[in-house]
Amino acid sequence: MNAHTIQLFDKIMEQSMVRLAELSVVKTAVYTDNTSRIGEIVSYITRFYVDCFKHFGWLPKEIPFYNRILCGNSESFTKLISKDPVLSQLFEYLPEDGSKITHSPTALHMHFVILPDFYSVSGLLWGNSAQQLFMCLSECSVIRDTVKIPSGRYTYLSELLEQYDSLLNPSLKEWIKEKEISFNKVLRDSKSYWGDTFYSHYLKMKILGAIEEILFTTNTLKEIAINQKFGKYLMLYKTFKRYNIDLSNISRFAKM
C-alpha cells in the first residue's frame, strides 16, 4: 500500500467532514438530538470512500480498514478510555465538555500512530445547552508496516496533475513531451509515487472530485460532469462504470 493513498484518504475525509458540517440535514439532526442519524451519515461517507479506494486498487480488498463508528455523549465513553488506546489518544485533544464548543456541528479529523497501526479518525463534534459534548466519529486503521514510503522527488507529478486537462489535450504523451519531460520517466515515477499510471490516477482524482460534488451539493450530474472536466454526462457515467461505482447509489445529502 502506497503512503500517498493514506495521505489522500486523510485529506478527503477532512474535507468531507468540513462540508458535511455545513449541510442542513446535519444541522437539523443536531438541533433535534438525532445523534444516530449523524452517525449513519458519517459512517456512510467513510465506508463509501473506503470502497472507492478499494475499487481503484489503492486499498487491498482483503483489508477491512474501516473499524467502527464512535457516536454519542462523550461521557458515555469515559469508562472505556483506560481500556481503549484510540479513545485515550482522542480524548487528549477533545474539550472536557460542550461549553468549549459551539452548538453547531464542527468538523474533526485526526491521524496518529498507535503501534503497530496507523489510525485515521474523522467526524463531527457539537455541544448542547446542557454543556454536554457530543460526537460522531469514524475510525479507520491499517498496519503501518504495510504502508510503503516511496523514495525520490515527485513534486512535479502533482504539478502536472493540476495542469493536465484531457479535454484540451487528448494525447497525454504529446502533452508531456511539450513540457520537455520524458514520458517514460513520468510513467515510472507515477508508478512509484501513486502506485498507478499517470492517466489512471488522473481519472480517479476526477471521480473523487465528482463524488464530493454529488455528496455535498445540489448540482445536477450534467453540471458535475462539466465542473470536473468530463465534458458531458455520458463520459462521467462511463468513467464511474469503469471502476464499478454506481452513480445512482450515491447519497445526495445536500438534497435531504
Domain edges within the chain: 3-146, 155-255
Q: Which residue has the higher pLDDT, 163 or 76?
A: 163
Q: Is residue 149 scored above 90 in pLDDT?
A: no
| pLDDT score for 75 | 87
User: Exposed, middle or buried by CB within 10 Å (0-12, 13-18, 19+), for 69?
Assistant: buried
- Of the pLDDT bands very low, low, confident and very high (cuts 50, 70, 90), residue 150 is confident
Residue 157: C-alpha distances to residues 13, 71, 92, 186 (Å): 22, 39, 37, 7
pLDDT for 195-246, tens place per residue?
899 999 999 999 999 999 999 999 999 999 999 999 999 999 999 999 999 9
DSSP codes of every residue in 3-51: HHHHHHHHHHHHHHHHHHHT-HHHHHHHHTT-HHHHHHHHHHHHHHHHH
Q: Is residue 16 scored above 90 in pLDDT?
A: yes
Q: Which residue has the higher pLDDT, 26 or 33?
A: 26
- Of the pLDDT bands very low, low, confident and very high (cuts 50, 70, 90), residue 99 is low
Radius of gyration (C-alpha) of the chain in whole angstroms: 20
- Of the pLDDT bands very low, low, confident and very high (cuts 50, 70, 90), residue 13 is very high
DSSP run (H or E) holding 113:
strand 106-114
Locate 200 and state its grid cell: 489512471
pLDDT for 133-144, tens place per residue?
899 999 999 999
SS3 108: strand
Q: Judge whether 52 and 207 are in contact, CB under 8 Å.
A: yes
- Of the pLDDT bands very low, low, confident and very high (cuts 50, 70, 90), residue 180 is very high
Q: Is residue 97 scored above 80 in pLDDT?
A: no
| pLDDT score for 98 | 59
- The DSSP call for residue 148 is B
User: Exposed, middle or buried by CB within 10 Å (0-12, 13-18, 19+), for 168?
Assistant: exposed
219 vs 209: CA distance, rounded Å: 13
The pTM score is 0.94
User: Exposed, middle or buried by CB within 10 Å (0-12, 13-18, 19+), for 91?
Assistant: middle
Q: Is residue 87 scored above 90 in pLDDT?
A: yes
Average pLDDT over residues 31-47: 96
According to the 3-state scheme, what is the secondary structure of 86-106? Answer: HHHHHHCCCCCCHHHCCCCCE
Superfamily of the domain at 155-255: Homeodomain-like (1.10.10.60)
